Amino acid sequence: MDSAVVVGAGVLGACVSYHLARAGVRVVVVEAARPAAGTSGATFSADVTHLKTPYAYYRLNRQGSEEHRQLSAALDGPAWRRPAPLLQWADDDAAHQALRARASRVRGWGHACHLAPPSVLRDLAPAVDPAACGADEIVVHTDTCWFDAPRFVHALLDAAVRHGAETHHGVTVTGLTRTGGRITGVRAGARSWSADTVVNCAGPGARGIAALAGVRLPLRQVPGLVIESEPLAGGPLTAIVAAPGIDLRPTPGGGVLALSWDIDARLGGTAEPVADGLPQELRRRAATVLPDLARARILDARIGVRPVPADGLPLVGEAPQAPGLYHLVSHSAVTLAPVLGRLAAHEITTGRAAAALAPYRPDRAAPDDVQDENLRAMDDRRPHAAP
Ligand SMILES: Cc1cc2nc3c(=O)[nH]c(=O)nc-3n(C[C@H](O)[C@H](O)[C@H](O)COP(=O)(O)OP(=O)(O)OC[C@H]3O[C@@H](n4cnc5c(N)ncnc54)[C@H](O)[C@@H]3O)c2cc1C
């Protein structure tokens, strides 16, 4: 394997490009807009390992999280990986029991989390209004973090370029070339690039790239709104907070990023302009937990589109109808990118299948026992869109 074209420069495209280039492959990255312009630039990007089941998928996410630590130390110091405790609570008994059950499950898997009285909020997240937490106990995850995803993308792409990768931005792939039965390159208007392997890292656009080769990827598009504030007057948010109806985390600029599944459930099926009033509604919700936010300016409101495989698990590898076209698509891909990018590059360069990727082949029969809680949270709140 000498050459690869990677379609898309989000977290997955950047990561696989880095590993391929490092292994000596001639890499061309073709990106329709600019690096991190897609979902990786409009994401909550917390470490979501604790939400993942079954165990093999939890392990994969944990490996992703660990490899962030290693890559960040090797390439960028601690800058894109931001350690912070994760604090969760619920407002009704059923939701609280679900949180407890999850904490107990992941603790059994060696995950660092414990139950604590809400008074710990004073130390761990002084910006949070203690009165906002009506629960008797909260779940505290101690060894977790959020990610500055655009910074991660740029660090990995820069490293790929140092290893010889070529990048083309503002270039949309519109066709694939086939030689015999094999995909052997991409077309973008009048331009084209040939390669031994084309890697489909187009995120929510991955279904369109697959369709160019006659492959049907079971992928949904699930939009989400995030707002970003200026720094809070009374001091920074020092934790990731998952409170009923609202998720919050710090931003690289010292402000707050907010997301609400309930608001996301009201968005349409694809990328769309941010409707008037929605960022303000999201800010009002967030300010019930972080009162200082009521007075902080909203610097940005973005809608990102989650690429969500029908069963919630990643889609990784070639489909039998189109050898030469390797798919690398996942929800929660910020957490997973280091491990998926590394394993995919290994498969592509050696031709040897990685056992850890066996459950995630694009042509698998969808299992019916998937319990990815991210996926459940989405489906509980929005009508089920056809994959
Ligand atoms: C609101 C929200 C919250 C989230 N929270 C988390 C979280 O807490 N933790 C977590 O791990 N994950 C989270 N995710 C999911 C995560 O952000 C995504 O899984 C991840 O960013 C996907 O990265 P990607 O590289 O696959 O896709 P993208 O970042 O979308 O990159 C794909 C790139 O391909 C390009 N492209 C598309 N079509 C073409 C074409 N034809 N030609 C050339 N280029 C093309 C696009 O321009 C884009 O830049 C969240 C997502 C959202 C929206």
Domain boundary (306, 322, 342) is at: 306
pLDDT at 367: 62
* Mean pLDDT computed over 56-81: 92
Q: How many domains does the chain have?
A: 2
Rounded to the nearest angstrom, the distance between the alpha carbon of 354 and the centre of ligand 1 is 24
**Domain span at 225:** 85-143+220-306
CB-side neighbour CA atoms (13 Å) of 329: 32
Q: What is the pLDDT at residue 377?
A: 67
Ligand 1 lined by 8 (C-beta under 6 Å): yes
C-alpha dist (Å) from residue 228 to 62, 232, 287, 292, 300: 27, 11, 13, 14, 5
Domain stop point among 306, 333, 362: 306
Residues 188 and 186: their CA atoms lie apart, in Å, by 7
Mark which of 286, 306, 326 sits at the end of a domain: 306
Which residue owns the Cα nearest ligand 1 atom 2?
A: 43
Which helix H or strand E contains 257, and what residues bound it? strand 256-259
Is 16 exposed, middle or buried, given 0-12, 13-18 or 19+ CB atoms closer than 10 A? buried
CATH of the domain at 356: 3.50.50.60
Do 171 and 292 fall within a single domain? no
Note the pLDDT tens digit of each residue in 110-168: 999 999 999 999 999 999 999 999 999 999 999 999 999 999 999 999 999 999 999 99
Instruction: Compute, in angstroms, the gap from residue 132 CA to the centroid of ligand 1.
Output: 32
Lowest-confidence pick of 110-124, 210-224, 258-272: 258-272
Joined together, the tokens standing for residue 269 give 């099926």
Residue 10 Cβ inside 6 Å of ligand 1? The answer reads yes
On whether residue 76 sits in a domain, the answer given is no
**Is the CB of 201 within 6 Å of ligand 1?**
yes
Give the strand order in the sheet containing 166-169: 166-169, 26-31, 3-7, 197-200, 325-329, 315-318
Phi–psi pair at 72, nearest 5 degrees = -65, -40
State whether 164 and 195 are in the same domain: yes
Instruction: Looking at the structure, tell me whether residues 19 and 127 fall in a common domain.
Output: no
Angle at 17 between CA 15 and CA 22, to 5 degrees: 100
